[in-house]
A = this chain, B = another copy of it.
Amino acid sequence: MAAHFALLIDPAASDDARDDFAATFTVLDPSAPALSISELSTQRGDGVFESIGVVHAHPQEVGAHLERLAHSALLCDLPAPHLEQWRQAVARAAAACGAGESVIKLILSRGVEHGPAPTAWVTAAVAADNSVARAHGVRVVTLDRGIDAGAADRAPWLLLGAKTLSYAVNMAALREAHRRGADDAVFVSSDGVVLEAPTASVVLRLGDRFVTPAVASGILHGTTQISLFEHLAVQGHRTAYETVPVRTLQQADAAWLLSSVRLAAPITAVDGVALPVDRELTASVNDYLLSPRD
């Protein structure tokens, strides 16, 4: 859905002497021209972002998203975002959300070319209806991400752990998945290790254990996956970060794509081969993910 609320943030005015950052915000008409053609976000995908799920005007896991925004900014040599300023901007955007599910996006761009400071803004929109994906699941295809599992450590300039605005490959992977008759993709390394989906984390159930690919492989640390693992641990389940060969995904007892807005979508097939779906567990996981979380 198109954004119904947008707030420009002035990162240059984020001094610690301030308690209330309202004076550093400007409400925008989300459909009106707001950005210069010299914006480096638009010219080079040069910036970082977050998407926060919102349920009945409650933004979920804001702290984890802000931490990841700061981590992405660090990897991209962007000025550190002032977290309290962003927290207040998220609260403003959440207050503009109604009942039901919404999505708040945070964007921190390197700013205008040769400009003095980053450009930053927050938007709110009604979320797409994800009930079908949650209830009936998604068919995925595995797609080679080109890199090997060691690339992230070896080559930090590849920004593999940063959620950057340079998302063209993620979008191309989704189109390729659709071309192959699937709903989504799972990236695998050139040496056959499961990484992540273009816009989601992968979680598997292997017997009585819940496993997600190790973050050292250069994938994003999923905020929803972290939240789910905490929930599973409280319920007495074992969770682990591991190197996951593609074969392990194909033979999992169940698997999900986890993301902030679609939440838990059970994987029903991998490359055309059916995977078992645990409907009861999926429903209970989504009930948890739809409950207010901080």
Contacts and interface: CB of A to CB of B under 8 A. Distances in A.
Contacts of A36: 30-35
Interface residues of A, number: 61
Interface stretch (A10-18, A166-174, A257-265): A166-174
B44 A6 contact: no
A88 B174 CA distance: 34
Contact of A159 (B156, B162, B169): B169
Nearest to A113: B2
Nearest to A75: B172
A3 to B, nearest CB: 6
Interface string A134-161: 0000000001111110010011111110
A148 B151 CA distance: 11
A28 interface: yes
Chain A at the B interface: SS class = mixed
Contacts of A39: 35, 42
A123 interface: yes
27 contacts: A3-B38, A28-B37, A32-B36, A34-B37, A35-B35, A35-B42, A39-B42, A41-B41, A42-B109, A43-B105, A43-B167, A44-B45, A44-B165, A45-B165, A144-B151, A144-B154, A144-B155, A145-B155, A146-B158, A147-B190, A148-B190, A157-B172, A158-B169, A158-B172, A159-B168, A159-B169, A164-B168
Interface of A: 1-3, 6, 28, 30-39, 41-47, 49, 76-77, 105, 107, 109, 112-114, 121, 123, 143-148, 151, 154-160, 162, 164-173, 175-176, 190
